[in-house]
Structure 1
């Protein structure tokens, strides 16, 4: 089951004296905070806090949260995880949350051969790399490019791929 509230980052410190906090973001695009009105201080969404402002210092988001107006109040938030509702995350067609991909069964698009399970996503400069644990226990890597990853079906928990020639040459 997919999480409703997604971990977006961790508050690492306060900033200034008016209650701002510095967030270490755990997302691909920290600019998403410009589009978010409410963040949550728990994974169940029972502790919503309005986001009053966002700005950046040294490439880290500074968040101004409603109700935290002094350095003393903001310091109580240090080391807290910040969550956002999955519906509030701006995503384009064909974009997925990494945590939704982890655990997908990876199969060959042409032969229906089961390769294994997607266990990790590593961002690189050009494209992400998907780590697949094969049924023999070995881990193999595939580039997350349209020529290889043909279909992602979160409802069926399946990713269909067409490996590039030579990609799995170490197979017996």
Structure 2
């Protein structure tokens, strides 16, 4: 049985030519929405996912606008609203060294270079130039925001679910 990874949620239609607005939760939106890519649509009241092939993709404000082959107008995609777009985990390609899928990072424990456990990665934000890892603090239960940049993140050991960072000034306050 396949394991599925969430790519994004369809929140609305856009225009009349079959485009949908997607709030993306993927680490590689350009690859996921590449023309010809296969995505699977999971709808709230349907047991089996619908296989979709990307026809077009473009960015619009904070959304990804995507259309699918065989669904050329708004009436064809109205029912897609609130559906989740997913990919099969076993279809993912291996990444170059030093690059990771979100699902590999979420859940990892984060330690300082002094071997102090800060907490575990709860989610990943992509606000701009670099990702930000949200750490749930073990001690204070507060969230710690870690920028994914070379000067902070020193080692990522996926096999052992351990990340080592060098905190910059003000990071842990």
TM (normalized to structure 2)?
0.71
Counterpart check, 1:144 vs 2:143: no
Unaligned runs of 5+ in 1: none
Alignment deviations for residues 41-62 of structure 1 (CA, whole Å, 9 cap, x no partner): 139xx52514151133635444
* Higher-Rg member (1/2): 1
Q: State the distance in 2 between where 1:127 and 1:27 align.
A: 14
Unaligned runs of 5+ in 2: none
Q: State the distance in 2 between where 1:77 and 1:5 align.
A: 18
Counterpart check, 1:161 vs 2:160: no
**Matched length:** 164
TM (normalized to structure 1)?
0.71
Which one of 124, 128, 134 corresponds to residue 121 of structure 1? 124
Question: What RMSD, in angstroms, separates the aligned Cα atoms of the two structures?
Answer: 3.3
Alignment deviations for residues 101-137 of structure 1 (CA, whole Å, 9 cap, x no partner): 222111234x433232222333343433333333322
Q: Any idea what SS the aligned residue of 1:115 has?
A: strand
User: Does the 8 Å contact 2:36/2:54 carry over to 1?
Assistant: no
Counterpart check, 1:134 vs 2:133: no
**C-alpha deviation, 1:141, in angstroms:** 3.3
Instruction: Specify whether residues 69 and 34 from structure 1 end up closer, same or farther in structure 2 by C-alpha distance, changes over 3 A only.
Output: same
Runs of 4+ in 1 over 6 A off after TM superposition: none
User: Does the 8 Å contact 1:51/1:63 carry over to 2?
Assistant: no
